[in-house]
Structure 1
Amino acid sequence: MSPDVIAAIKELVPAARVYDDPLSTLAYGTDASFYRLIPRVVVKVESEEEVVSLLAIARRFSAPVTFRAAGTSLSGQAISDSILLVLGDQWKDHEIRNEGRQIRLQPGIIGAQANAWLAPYGYKIGPDPASINACKIGGIVANNASGMCCGTAQNTYHTLASMRLILADGAVVDTEDSASVKAFRGSHAPLLAELEQLAAETRANTELADRIRHKYRLKNTTGLSLNALVDYSDPIDILTHLMVGSEGILGFVSSVTYDTVPDYPNKATALLVFTNADSCCRAAALLRSQPVAAVELLDRRSLRSVQDKPGLPEWIHGLSEDACALLIETRAPDATLLQEQLVQIRAALAGFPVEKKVDFTSDPKVSDQLWAIRKGTFPAVGAVRPTGTTVIIEDVTFPLDQLAEGVKRLQALFVKHAYDDAIIFGHALEGNLHFVFPQGFDNPDEVARYDAFMKDVSQLVAVEFGGSLKAEHGTGRNMAPFVELEWGHDAWELMWKIKGLLDPENLLNPDVVLSRDPDIHLKNLKPLPAADPLIDKCIECGFCEPVCPSEGLTLSPRQRIVISRDIQAKKRAGKDTSELEAAYQYQGIDTCAATGLCAQRCPVDINTGDLVRKLRAQKTGHPGAADWVAEHFQTVLRGTRFVLTMASGVEKLLGAPRLAKLSAGLSRVSGQRLPQWDPSMPQPIRFVPQAPVAESDAPRVVYLPACVSRVMGPASGDGEQTTLYDKTRQLLEKGGYQVVQPQALDTLCCGQPFASKGYPEQAERKKTELLKALLAATRNGRDPVYCDTSPCTLQIQEAARELGMALYDPVKFIREKLVDRLVFKPEDTRIAVHVTCSTQHLGESQGLIDIARRCSTNVVVPEDIHCCAFAGDKGFNVPELNSHALRTLPRQVASCTEGISTSRTCEIGLSRHGGIDYHGLVYLVDRVTEAAPY
């Protein structure tokens, strides 16, 4: 690519959103597939106008362009070695219409968020891909994604109401805007006439038209959506439906309106294990005419892959070698109809003998357990694959009446090509099977084995069975060489005609869906070299990214792993990595909040924060200083109070505006080594340890105030000036508890500040000291421990449990120990709730929200803020991370009078960026409660 292209882009788009450095292009050049292309330039686009202008630059320089939403694509359709356009923050508008029966969405919205907006109305969007918590609407449309309950009737193609799109020539048309359509009909009359003519010719070609109709009775995303030519006669309708599933090779979808589908609240789930695949598939075929929402098939190998997971039925271990299971779910608008459906389904299946079963249940706990079997299959293979290999997940459809034979023939191919670890599962109602296997690409023999296997699979599925090679994962690069084999030459050439009409210069995502290179599926295979046991199981799926606070500012967990792998591989090859490591220090290490939320979303349980802490530990150069701090912790706390006292005094002397300006200058001059003061900074606490308490008949609780609670009071401008320490004691005593504290409290620390800085030995030492003091204070575990800050609770939770101590964070203690001792008088004050990362890890997210709703009838839980990224002292030392994580907070809490949380440091950042005062949960609970009569 000519340097002039990048120069032209930088003239158009602010430099902060244009990336052409080696670290960024490698990081963004990764999607969930097993291919990698490194773009020459990545542009974060924020408007239609930018897309139009960037397409003009691409045409001027003949530079190919690829569009990227979330990058969870599995077939190599979201990567580029040229210009990669990535959706920025400004593609998240939505509009709910007709009481939830329609929703208009921009492409940057995550699918699950759309369903969260629709849930109060009892509706959802039709597509339900397994990646719905991470993938975005742009990708859902571009791949015509479906899923477990979607089938063919509820995918984007069939639930599309309207679309706004941008063509390769820069034209914009909104199909629900009559003026826009009229203008487009005038400006693009020849194009529309050509589409109309192609549709007429296709319908007149009876053999081709019948073939198209047959192909789309199956789940099918192989090639372009030729059904648009037989289903519609208006060229506008043809155009919009061709865009669905086109994977960005025909244009850019800037918004879509869905006709939604009912989301029934009543459901029942069952797991039936049949003696063999034949009877299992015959049952699945029969269920197609029954009132079922999902029927998932799992072969014996897939069941074996998850049989050791906690909570799953023990009998899975003893199933026969030929066993094959169906996971069945039925849903209904009311309980009565649900029971009627269960009677009907049971009667239909009565003639099939089963080896084992979990009968239909509406118990959410059991249902979740059953779905855990299905959802755990793919990650189970990923978790046990040899280091250096990737996980391939293929996605085919057999005609339903031939499904059993298809399963047997696939299993025979696994044996032929020595894929001994391959498993099969899938959406049985549609004859849609996924098969998963580990695959190495590090030598020619492995590549040849994969190629031979895929050619056999393609011949089996597409030719012998007349099925589809890609049911729902999109053609991408993976199946592009086999589109002609599946569709036949005439249909393949018809697709090329459509491509030529809409993208005559072949600039939009070339070699995706359509390619004349028969080996494109074997090129640009992504290496997954060993880097560290903490991350070697990463499959780079991107499921972690939505909860990462640094995603979009620097790197996401997936991208941190990509760069870490590349650094290690380059080092082993003897290459100089100094520049890459220097860039990674800020992008990957300094700006990681290390909260571990990524692990909650990761299919193979990777906590990228563990890697970052390990890297920090390798780079720490002052263990002696850390030892001194650990040994003189009380002195350090006194010093911190002194600094806060000085800052408070200067604030009173100079005033907040002048101090903020002075502090900003000092922070800038020091290279951000000095934290910047602002009005949210806390005042110091004059902490006086509690005197020994006299014994009483009241129940005892050992109160552990975190070090921040012993040092940091409210900000000077906060309307609430009572310290968290005093407020907590006040609430506990109101609940009738005798409050005691550990001895030598100001010397104690949970160890988290040391762990986060990369000093694990000092962290463990301080944690051990604290636990010893708590054990004494609790009379060897007789009394519960209340810790007023959720991150500290999380830090010592496991060790406390092993010692037999009952440890509580504020949410759990209030929920289990105080609610019955208090009388709640809820107020109508509009309250914002921030659920901290540690509260999520502790499993108390809903508990916090429920307590807030006991206290206020007007509770707001901001969307898309999974972590505030204050991360101990990151909010002081890397303030841009906290600012980025909370960039959407102000508009969401603008109408609130107060915010609540469970971490004092988090509350500093939340107050700073939210524009309202955030306090600990105990402030709200204390304000609206009275002691219950005994």
Structure 2
Amino acid sequence: MLEALRGIVGNKGLITDPTEMEPWITDWRQRRRGRALAVVQPASTQEVSAVVALCAAEGQPVFPVGGNTGLCFGAVPESDRQDRPGVVLSLRRMNRIRATDRATGIATVDAGVVLGDLHNAAIEAGRQFPLHLGSEGSAQIGGLISTNAGGTGVVRYGPMRDLVAGLEVVLADGRVLTDLAALRKDNTGYMLRHLFIGAEGTLGIITGAALRLHPQTPNTAHAWVSVISPAAAVALFAALQDRAGSYIQAFELVSAPQFELVRRHAERARFPFPEIPAWSVLIELGSEDATTALPAILEEVVGAALERGEVRDAVVATSEQQASEFWHIRHSVSEANKKEGIGIVLDIAVRSSDVAPFIAAAAAVAAERYPQAVSQVVCHLGDGNVHVILMFQRDFWATLPDEDPFALEVERAIHDVAARFGGTFSAEHGVGRKLTEELERLADPLRYELMTKVKALFDPQNLMNPGVLLAPKAA
């Protein structure tokens, strides 16, 4: 098997040394470790096709990995057969920007392109790719599509699903499905590419994508607002929609305990207030029109909220440097949490109007059942995505006889709160291996049944990232 793989990708594309493989088989927070026969790094779609066809013939599972920044263990290789450990498939050598079309607003790229590199290519073409998140220096396009990533700009531009105009996918038998025309209108039946967005590599390997670019918004305004409560933040969001709905690019709500960890662990974290507010809202407005007075709009809306008593204080950025400092703090959250302890990160989505009562209900459950944890909130309020994070110290975590069942118990407690509000337990992080039981428990039974049938149709041998998304017995 190894020699056959070497014949396809060459020595440069094959890693078999256990020490060199270690970063590829362990999740980035060092909480879960898998095993694999090798790490395979093809340099083209044709090589991916040959590798997958070989694995199908040999019955070897294929575990795709992007930037390995996920939180649900979806990139950790775990096979249920000792004699078939499978291969980790990395597309980092496939990092080419194939083409940019300024008029149509399409960038066609390899799946291994790093998000930050796509940002730079879009700027060179006079456009922007509006997906922004903390791991953009390492996250790869294929992984972002496979998990339907979100980020801070969803309120205006939508998640990854809304930014994908076409895909190139290697199916489980090695055949290549090509859909890169990126036509704005195409009414020729089932839009199959949507099956692969959010499928977490369980139906095939995404090797290329046509992505929607947007006009640049050189005119921006940024504010850090201290609000009295999450309900006040929702009211501020509604007021801002009335005045500047099409300009809102980000609207983030963060609790003080979360930003305290950023102050403690992140480098270059300069806060605009002497004391971190109990509830902070970070706002970004953007316009293609340089004459639009965005700072004045922010001052008007926030000033009215200040008069109503919903806002305690606010700072509107007066320079690009200050705005960059705001968002550096926001994007330092994950790294700060990793350094602090063991965080159970919940990825809830409810309607924006339900954000405040959900946060209150979740906080009550957390305080009653898990007093050992500090509860934190990071909320993409504009799209209703609420990350409740229960932070446990490592000393407490070390006393647990079995970590995984305890973590699942914590997750279930908050997921049940989300279900009461008609919400979902997975908004942008995916399901991975961590939440397969929760998907089976909480999904509509008919929807779950249809998902298992789709999996069986595209991957009858269950070799594409087995154990991810669907529980093993259902796949």
TM bracket (short chain): 0.7 to 0.9
Instruction: Give the aligned residue type for 2:384.
Output: G
Matched, 1:467 2:420: no
C-alpha deviation, 1:279, in angstroms: 2.0
Query: Which deviations, in whole Å up to 9, do the C-alpha atoms of 1:66-116 show, x marking residues without a partner?
Result: 112221222111121421111242432321113472111111111111111
Selected match of 2:100 from 84, 96, 103: 96
| Structure 1: runs of 5+ lacking an equivalent | 179-230, 521-934
TM-score, structure 2 as length reference:
0.87
C-alpha deviation, 1:241, in angstroms: 1.1
Q: State the distance in 2 between where 1:11 and 1:369 align.
A: 49
Aligned to 2:354: 402
C-alpha deviation, 1:357, in angstroms: 2.2
C-alpha deviation, 1:484, in angstroms: 2.7
Q: Relative to structure 1, is the Cα distance of residues 166 and 400 closer, same or farther in structure 2, using a 3 angstrom cutoff?
A: same
Matches within 5 A, 1:881-900: none
Instruction: Give the aligned residue type for 2:10.
Output: P
Instruction: Give the aligned residue type for 1:312.
Output: F
Instruction: Indicate the SS of the match to 2:374.
Output: coil
Matches within 5 A, 1:782-861: none
Q: State the distance in 2 between where 1:379 and 1:365 align.
A: 21
Aligned to 1:477: 433
Q: Relative to structure 1, is the Cα distance of residues 325 and 91 closer, same or farther in structure 2, using a 3 angstrom cutoff?
A: closer
Aligned to 1:533: none
Instruction: Give the aligned residue type for 2:102.
Output: N
For the 8 Å contact 2:92–2:112, the answer to whether it is kept is yes
Instruction: Give the aligned residue type for 1:37.
Output: G
Q: State the distance in 1 between where 2:142 and 2:339 align.
A: 29
C-alpha deviation, 1:354, in angstroms: 4.5
Query: Which deviations, in whole Å up to 9, do the C-alpha atoms of 1:388-433 show, x marking residues without a partner?
Result: xx44433211221111011112222332213433311121111111
Matches within 5 A, 1:240-251: 240-251=193-204
Q: State the distance in 1 between where 2:104 and 2:186 align.
A: 26
Selected match of 2:16 from 17, 20, 34: 20
Instruction: Indicate the SS of the match to 1:32.
Output: coil
Aligned to 2:211: 258
Matches within 5 A, 1:309-708: 311-316=270-275, 319=277, 323-339=278-294, 341-342=297-298, 345-346=301-302, 349=305, 352-354=308-310, 356-385=312-341, 390-415=342-367, 416-436=369-389, 437-438=391-392, 442=398, 443-444=400-401, 446-461=403-418, 463-516=419-472
Structure showing greater Rg: 1
Q: Relative to structure 1, is the Cα distance of residues 447 and 141 closer, same or farther in structure 2, using a 3 angstrom cutoff?
A: closer
Q: State the distance in 2 between where 1:106 and 1:495 align.
A: 27
Q: Relative to structure 1, is the Cα distance of residues 487 and 347 closer, same or farther in structure 2, using a 3 angstrom cutoff?
A: farther
Aligned to 1:45: 42
Q: State the distance in 2 between where 1:133 and 1:25 align.
A: 21
C-alpha deviation, 1:350, in angstroms: 5.5
For the 8 Å contact 1:127–1:140, the answer to whether it is kept is no
Q: Relative to structure 1, is the Cα distance of residues 54 and 292 closer, same or farther in structure 2, using a 3 angstrom cutoff?
A: same
Aligned to 1:10: 6
Q: Which moved more, 1:33-42 or 1:302-311?
A: 302-311
Q: State the distance in 2 between where 1:135 and 1:58 align.
A: 26
Instruction: Give the aligned residue type for 1:44.
Output: Q
Q: State the distance in 1 between where 2:100 and 2:425 align.
A: 36
C-alpha deviation, 1:35, in angstroms: 2.5
For the 8 Å contact 2:466–2:472, the answer to whether it is kept is no
Aligned to 2:233: 280
C-alpha deviation, 1:267, in angstroms: 1.1
For the 8 Å contact 1:481–1:516, the answer to whether it is kept is no
Q: State the distance in 2 between where 1:510 and 1:435 align.
A: 28
> Relative contact order, CA 8 A, sep 6+: which one is greater?
2
Matches within 5 A, 1:877-916: none
Q: State the distance in 1 between where 2:211 and 2:181 align.
A: 15
C-alpha deviation, 1:310, in angstroms: 5.3
Aligned to 2:142: 138
Q: State the distance in 2 between where 1:153 and 1:93 align.
A: 22
Instruction: Give the aligned residue type for 2:346.
Output: E
Quote the sequence identity (%). 23
Q: Relative to structure 1, is the Cα distance of residues 505 and 354 closer, same or farther in structure 2, using a 3 angstrom cutoff?
A: same
Instruction: Indicate the SS of the match to 1:27.
Output: helix
Q: Relative to structure 1, is the Cα distance of residues 177 and 398 closer, same or farther in structure 2, using a 3 angstrom cutoff?
A: closer
Deviation above 6 Å: which 4+ runs of structure 1? none
Q: State the distance in 1 between where 2:402 and 2:255 align.
A: 29
Instruction: Give the aligned residue type for 2:323.
Output: S
Instruction: Indicate the SS of the match to 1:129.
Output: coil
Instruction: Indicate the SS of the match to 2:151.
Output: coil
Q: State the distance in 2 between where 1:467 and 1:346 align.
A: 29
Aligned to 1:303: 259
Q: Relative to structure 1, is the Cα distance of residues 306 and 88 closer, same or farther in structure 2, using a 3 angstrom cutoff?
A: closer
Query: Which deviations, in whole Å up to 9, do the C-alpha atoms of 1:243-302 show, x marking residues without a partner?
Result: 111111111122111121222011111111122233223333444553321111011322
Q: Which moved more, 1:13-22 or 1:72-81?
A: 13-22
Q: State the distance in 1 between where 2:121 and 2:333 align.
A: 29
Count of residues in correspondence between the two structures? 454
Q: Relative to structure 1, is the Cα distance of residues 299 and 517 closer, same or farther in structure 2, using a 3 angstrom cutoff?
A: farther
TM-score, structure 1 as length reference:
0.46
For the 8 Å contact 1:469–1:479, the answer to whether it is kept is no
Q: Relative to structure 1, is the Cα distance of residues 60 and 16 closer, same or farther in structure 2, using a 3 angstrom cutoff?
A: same
For the 8 Å contact 1:302–1:424, the answer to whether it is kept is yes
Instruction: Give the aligned residue type for 1:283.
Output: L
For the 8 Å contact 1:92–1:109, the answer to whether it is kept is yes
Instruction: Indicate the SS of the match to 2:248.
Output: coil
Q: State the distance in 2 between where 1:133 and 1:110 align.
A: 7
For the 8 Å contact 1:31–1:73, the answer to whether it is kept is yes
C-alpha deviation, 1:7, in angstroms: 4.2
Q: State the distance in 1 between where 2:13 and 2:471 align.
A: 31
Q: State the distance in 2 between where 1:22 and 1:41 align.
A: 9
Matches within 5 A, 1:227-242: 234-235=188-189, 237=191, 239-242=192-195
Instruction: Give the aligned residue type for 1:66.
Output: F
Query: Which deviations, in whole Å up to 9, do the C-alpha atoms of 1:889-919 show, x marking residues without a partner?
Result: xxxxxxxxxxxxxxxxxxxxxxxxxxxxxxx
For the 8 Å contact 1:267–1:362, the answer to whether it is kept is no
Selected match of 1:158 from 159, 162, 166: 162
Instruction: Give the aligned residue type for 1:157.
Output: R
Q: State the distance in 1 between where 2:51 and 2:373 align.
A: 47
C-alpha deviation, 1:504, in angstroms: 1.2
Q: Relative to structure 1, is the Cα distance of residues 336 and 364 closer, same or farther in structure 2, using a 3 angstrom cutoff?
A: same
Query: Which deviations, in whole Å up to 9, do the C-alpha atoms of 1:552-577 show, x marking residues without a partner?
Result: xxxxxxxxxxxxxxxxxxxxxxxxxx
For the 8 Å contact 1:302–1:425, the answer to whether it is kept is yes
Question: Which has the larger share of strand?
Answer: 2
Root-mean-square deviation over aligned CA pairs: 2.9
For the 8 Å contact 1:285–1:429, the answer to whether it is kept is no
Aligned to 1:127: 131
Q: Relative to structure 1, is the Cα distance of residues 62 and 439 closer, same or farther in structure 2, using a 3 angstrom cutoff?
A: farther
C-alpha deviation, 1:500, in angstroms: 1.1
Query: Which deviations, in whole Å up to 9, do the C-alpha atoms of 1:194-226 show, x marking residues without a partner?
Result: xxxxxxxxxxxxxxxxxxxxxxxxxxxxxxxxx
Q: Relative to structure 1, is the Cα distance of residues 517 and 504 closer, same or farther in structure 2, using a 3 angstrom cutoff?
A: closer
Q: State the distance in 2 between where 1:446 and 1:124 align.
A: 42
Q: Relative to structure 1, is the Cα distance of residues 343 and 421 closer, same or farther in structure 2, using a 3 angstrom cutoff?
A: closer
Q: State the distance in 1 between where 2:112 and 2:472 align.
A: 32
Selected match of 1:147 from 134, 148, 151: 151
Instruction: Give the aligned residue type for 1:114.
Output: L
| Structure 2: runs of 5+ lacking an equivalent | 79-85
Q: Relative to structure 1, is the Cα distance of residues 412 and 56 closer, same or farther in structure 2, using a 3 angstrom cutoff?
A: same
